[in-house]
Amino acid sequence: MKRSSGARLCSTAAIGALSLALLTGCSSDDGSKDSKDSKDSSSATASAASDAKASTAAELEKLLLAQGDVKGYKVDSGDDTLPKSKTAVKTDKAACDPLAWATAGLAPGDTDANASNSVTEDKSASVTASPSEADIEDAFNVNMTFVGLSSYDGDGAEKAMKAVSDGVTACSGGYALAAEGEKSKVTKVASEKGTGGGDESVAFSEDVDVDGEGTATFHTEVIRKGNTVATFYTVNFAALASGKATSIPAAVVQAQVTKLK
């Protein structure tokens, strides 16, 4: 992966580990009512999941963040450097595919219902008529977050989250990635604490080899709300060049999750 193609790093960062919540039923020793209620509740939950119908791509587009939804950020339709199809993203381990897909704003699970855009810090108000070198450098010091939404029938969203969680474990030692002709090497994947929200959330960091001269660390978060899965991946090219850490803006995550049904 060449430094001149830094923008394509957007499609190489991976996702962190998802902690799945396990539902357990309780029963008392002095009767069967609690057990019955628990079974009824579990059955109702399972039934609701099996009856879930995926939203269309057009419906997901309407759920994406729009201009004005997050103060201090600009919303764009997307970025041409990101792959438009899963076929353009290949890894050397099938278990790592959901990580690469989510990072590229693609659905981490089995669905064709997908929509994405980008949300970028707006520093235009601070740019002067005669910017100094420091002003110009600061103009590039912005967080750009790629947001992807995908929707699933039945329990597909839960399966997508499990695939991400399993992938973090299976790919902790790294994997090779090819995205639209650019080859990269992820050397490490690790779970971390994210903003959270929704019904399930996963956050992870990924170390990517930079021309054999060191590594750059990226962060991704995946959140499920109902049968919709949202993915967040942030890149800051100024921070990348200086080696500084970049985090996913909590305001962007919270605003997007709030818009989901």
What letter represents residue 55's amino acid? Answer: S
In a domain, 206, yes or no: yes
Asked whether residue 160 is domain-assigned, the answer is yes
Secondary structure element (H or E) that encloses residue 204, with its range: strand 200-209
C-alpha to C-alpha distance for 28 and 10, rounded to whole angstroms:
52
With respect to residue 20, please indicate whether it lies within any of the assigned structural domains. Answer: no
Quote the pTM value. 0.77
Torsion of CA 186, 188, 190, 194, to 10 degrees: -40
Q: Which two tokens stand for residue 29?
A: 């020793």
Is 59 within a domain?
yes
With respect to residue 1, please indicate whether it lies within any of the assigned structural domains. no
Task: Single out the residue of 99, 65, 103 nearest to residue 83, CA to CA.
Answer: 103
Residue 152 lies in a domain: yes
> Position 111: which residue type?
T
Domain, as residue range, for 133: 30-259
**pLDDT tens figures, 13-32:** 322 222 222 112 223 334 44
Give domain status of residue 35, yes or no.
yes
- Asked whether residue 14 is domain-assigned, the answer is no
Tokens of 223: 């959140």
Q: Is 218 exposed, middle or buried (0-12, 13-18, 19+ CB in 10 A)?
A: buried
Beta bridge mates, 116: 148
The CATH number for 99's domain is 3.40.1000.70
Contacts of 7 (CB under 8 A, 6+ apart): 79, 81, 237
Q: Report pLDDT digits (tens) over 28-64.
A: 334 444 444 434 434 444 445 567 899 999 999 999 9
Q: What is the per-residue pLDDT across 86-110, written as a single tens digit (0 to 9) for each?
A: 988 989 999 999 999 999 999 999 9
* Residue 1 tokens, joined: 């992966």
Residues 6+ apart with CB under 8 A from 6: 237, 240, 241
Task: Count how many domains the chain has.
Answer: 1
